[in-house]
Amino acid sequence: MQPAEPTLSSFANPVAKYIAATRPAFLSVTLVACLIGLASARFSGFPVAIDKGLLTLFFALVAHAGVNVINDYYDALNGSDAANSERLFPFTGGSRFIQNGVLSARATAWFGYGLLLAVIPAGLWLMQVSSPDLFWVGLGGLLVGWAYSAPPLKLMSRGLGELAIVAGWLLVVAGTDLVQRGSLALQPWLVGLPYALLVANILFINQFPDHKADALAGKRTLVVRLGPEEARWGYLAIATLAYGLLLFLVVKSLLPIYVAAGAFALPLSFKAARQLLAHASQPAALVPAIKLSILAANLSGLLLAAGLYFSVQSP
């Protein structure tokens, strides 16, 4: 049974209401990305500074929360969430806070942009204690998160949502590593890419239940452009690329052997792919596949981070 959608009467506590509006259950992918970044720096011989690590993690989560809220605001403006009768709450169709009268569109916009602005002072401090390069990594992350939904770029509506997700979560991994390492390095980008692809696959599969509403709102996502029967093969392609790249980097000694543990999540992704291939045009049947996609990304990322952690090099 799916959880009930939010209503104004279900949030007597205003703090709880605003926290729930960020969709906190889905912030785990950013937590895992930060763990990969920390493990990457430690693998290279840089001891993890707990204070900087915790601050990086907290404000990466705040930034992700802000992007979630902003996405709700712009999907309310374009009408896609309101028109989404095939949504699979809480996975697709937005948080429903605006549509169900829990928050106004104006309050949602103020809250979302407030969260993004709150990241800036922490980012500037972290830049001072780590590297000036963090400015560009942080700025890139905020811009990608904003441009994912917001006009005039509206990357998701142009079929570029998956690329934006890959870029965004790569920047989280690289930025977390950079704060600890103090300089840019190739390694976090390599180790973060397979994980970022699996995160992108969560977005991709979520587009299937939403594709009719997205089409009505003029959002030209990949699933809208290709149609669900053609687009369904894209999920398998992204998963194959993610795990294939991970194993390739290990075989070529670009990453340590223990990092291959991230491929243990492959059966979850492939089971989700089989379910999507069978039910691409039946939104109600996709809940198990969406859950498997989320589990696969988180599990692969955690195993990947653990693999790096237990493969520590000498400084």
Mean pLDDT of 139-148: 97
CB 179 within 8 A of CB 56: yes
| All structural domains of the chain | 27-309 (1.10.600)
Structure tokens, 275: 């379910």
d(CA 203, CA 133): 29
| 172-202 per-position pLDDT tens digit | 999 999 999 999 999 999 999 999 999 999 9
What's the pLDDT at 12?
A: 87
pLDDT value of position 1: 66
Which three-class secondary structure string do you get for 5-19? Answer: CCCHHHCCCHHHHHH
pLDDT at 2 over 80: no
Q: In this model, does residue 315 exceed pLDDT 70?
A: no
Assign 3 a pLDDT band (cuts: 50, 70, 90). confident
Task: Kindly state the greatest CA–CA separation across the chain.
Answer: 56
**Contact at 8 Å (CB) between 99 and 93?**
no
What is the pTM for the complete model shown?
Answer: 0.96
Q: Hey, which bits of 101-156 come out as E strands? A: none
CA distance 267 to 292: 10
Write out the two tokens for 307: 């693999």
Q: Strands (DSSP E) along the chain, which ranges? A: none
Give residue-wise pLDDT tens across range 106-138. 999 999 999 999 999 999 999 999 999 999 999
Q: Is the pLDDT of residue 312 over 80?
A: no
Q: List the single range of 8-12, 70-74, 92-96, 243-247 with lowest mean pLDDT.
A: 8-12
Q: Give the model confidence (pLDDT) of 230-277 as tens digits.
A: 999 999 999 999 999 999 999 999 999 999 999 999 999 999 999 999
**Mean pLDDT, residues 141-167 taken together:** 96
- What number is the average pLDDT over the span 60-83? 97
